[in-house]
Amino acid sequence: MSEPAHAPLASVRLAVDCMGGDHGVAVTLPACRAFLDKHPDASLTLVGSEAALAPAAGWPRCRSVLASEVVTMDDPVEVALRKKRDSSMRVAIAQLKSDESGDAGAADACVSAGNTGALMALARYLLKTLDGIDRPAIATVMPNRRDGFTTVLDLGANVDCTPEHLLQFAVLGSALVAAVDGKEEPTVGLLNIGEEAIKGSETIKRAGELLRAAAAGGHVNFFGNVEGNDIYKGTVDIVVCDGFVGNVLLKTSEGLASMLTDFIRQEFERNLLTKLAALVALPVLRHFKQRVDPRRYNGAALLGLRGLVFKSHGSADAYAFEMALTRAYDAARNRLLARVHDRIGPTLAALPAQAA
């Protein structure tokens, strides 16, 4: 399962769609500045209108690329693909493309807080998928009680998945965790309604068979079926599911985290007794609030493309967008694309022809 070592990049170049999301440059520019201050080996390509990018003039390790249009959060995919050909989102993604001579693009990864459907469609159109990958997947991390994170994919890019797609997601997730978290053989769980191999739909049962075959060949560290609570237990490093289930899971988790943080705040404001009790528990409450704060986990990877694209939440504040930049930086610096290439080929080659 182990792949050849890949030395980290000496410097990392990120392309940033500064106009995307609910807040545009009011969030993206402060986040970019904070990111640059913490990462002296990184440089940024800021994409947007001339007026919007004016405050960044003269920033070190920055260059601006102008774009005359913006993909709004309500734009249909067709508008982003066919009509807004000079959008900041499209121009930012295009920074990843190699030129006709095969030389690398102007950036190692791209980050946008824009429309998810448009971002996925444009990235797939401009960059194409890697050999052996049928569909890209969206992956992000969720906190677990081991004081770590569980990577979950797919989170909404693919509502209907075949068993082969779920196997590919397992390989993509394994490469992501190996690159970003340094776990060369991360454990993979298949989300199901029970741990037993006989449970689940026919798609899930067949996916389990493919994952066990890949594990037998040493290509995936497959743990077995897991249930929803295993994500928060930290039972495995990676949980694989289809995009419908994954998106419901993500939105439910975000809603629960918001409810819990609101509850903590309300307890401080209720009455003198609860205020005193809350003050005693303040260190624990602060740690808990920090652990479940969804801003810390912002930055979902669009995996399976011939370029690294990261999606920030549209409503992200500057801190959250900075976290998305950091996740993109970590993936690029640790050569995620090369790691995916090293894993996917041997995995699919070892499977029966009809599965590969």
Identify the CA nearest to 128 among candidates 308, 305, 338. 305
CA distance linking residue 169 with residue 158, whole number of Å: 11
CATH topology of domain 1-133+304-335: Isopropylmalate Dehydrogenase (3.40.718)
pTM greater than the 0.95 cutoff: no
CA distance linking residue 315 with residue 185, whole number of Å: 34
Q: Does domain 139-294 have CATH number 3.40.718.10?
A: yes
Answer yes or no: are the C-beta atoms of 302 and 312 closer than 8 Å. no
Phi and psi at residue 216, in whole multiples of 5°?
-65, -30
Kind plus residue range of the DSSP H or E element containing 264: helix 243-269
> Which residues of the chain does CATH 3.40.718.10 include?
1-133+304-335, 139-294
CA distance linking residue 206 with residue 215, whole number of Å: 14
Answer yes or no: are the C-beta atoms of 25 and 243 closer than 8 Å. no
With tokens 């998106």, the residue in question is: 247
DSSP string, 42-98: EEEEEEE-HHHHGGGTT-TTEEEEE-SB---TT--HHIIIII-TTBHHHHHHHTT--
- Which residues, other chains included, contact 286 with Cβ-Cβ below 8 Å and sequence gap of 6+? none
What does the pLDDT profile of the chain (356 residues) look like in tens digits?
A: 544 457 889 999 999 999 999 999 999 999 999 999 999 999 999 999 999 999 999 999 999 999 999 999 999 999 999 999 999 999 999 999 876 555 667 999 999 999 999 999 999 999 999 988 998 999 999 988 888 899 999 999 998 999 999 999 999 999 999 988 889 899 999 999 999 989 999 999 999 999 999 999 899 999 999 999 999 999 999 999 999 999 999 888 877 777 776 776 676 666 666 666 666 666 655 665 566 677 888 999 999 999 999 999 999 999 999 999 999 999 999 999 998 888 888 877 766 554 54
CA distance linking residue 123 with residue 98, whole number of Å: 14
